[in-house]
Amino acid sequence: MDFSVLAVIAGASYLIGSIPNGLLLGRWLWRIDLRQFGSKNIGATNAFRVLGPWPALGVFFTDAAKGVAGVFLGQWLAGTPLGMLVGGIAAIAGHNWSVFLKFKGGRGVATGLGVIAVLVPKVTLIVFAVWCVIVYFSRYVSLASIIAAALVPMLMRLFNERMEFYYFGLLAAAFVIIRHKPNIERLLKGKELKIKAGQAGKEK
């Protein structure tokens, strides 16, 4: 494997992942800076809380598309599972630590889902279904995201997926869980916000 090709994949995918879709869409379409409201996060959950379901879907799918793009870029340039994984991991890293936001960013849930949607579609369907059930009954998106992330490597082992994908699942789950550390602390204290749509200007 040509490591210069992997470096190009990593760099380009990181830049793709760094694009702050929530911030850009909020400003361009709804004249709202998501960093000023709700949880102050630019991800789909805060977009839902601040702007409502349709803007949140826009943020979710564009963030997921960054993960998809990273994987396909790796496949196109390297043509190997390793290239695809490098592209996917770099896209998630870009989303979480965006160069355009002074190395701050989202939680990596939607972008990570985009990656595994390409790599292991059946795992994605199960994880997304579990996420939906937990959100529906608990109203805690963070709790659902943490549990769903932890399930990814478990399901990959259960379905005997490639070991490279399993190790990616472990790394991606770690990314998501670590990024949710403040949410975990608030959940334990009973102070985590439950999901409620369209609260722009009410929560700061």
C-alpha to C-alpha distance for 158 and 176, rounded to whole angstroms: 21
- pLDDT tens digits for range 112-154: 999 999 999 999 999 999 999 999 999 999 999 999 999 999 9
pLDDT, mean of residues 184-204: 75
Mean per-residue pLDDT of the chain: 92
- pLDDT tens digits for range 100-115: 999 998 889 999 999 9
C-alpha to C-alpha distance for 86 and 6, rounded to whole angstroms: 7
Give the start-to-end residue ranges of the domains of the chain.
3-189
Predicted pLDDT at 194: 87
- pLDDT tens digits for range 33-81: 999 998 888 999 999 989 999 999 999 999 999 999 999 999 999 999 9
pTM over 0.75: yes
Predicted pLDDT at 41: 87
Q: Do residues 10 and 17 lie in contact, with contact meaning Cβ atoms separated by under 8 Å?
A: no
Q: What are 68's two structure tokens?
A: 């998809």
Confidence check: pLDDT of 193 > 80: yes
Please count the other Cβ atoms lying within 10 Å of the Cβ belonging to residue 199: 17
Angle at 77 between CA 71 and CA 80, to 5 degrees: 65
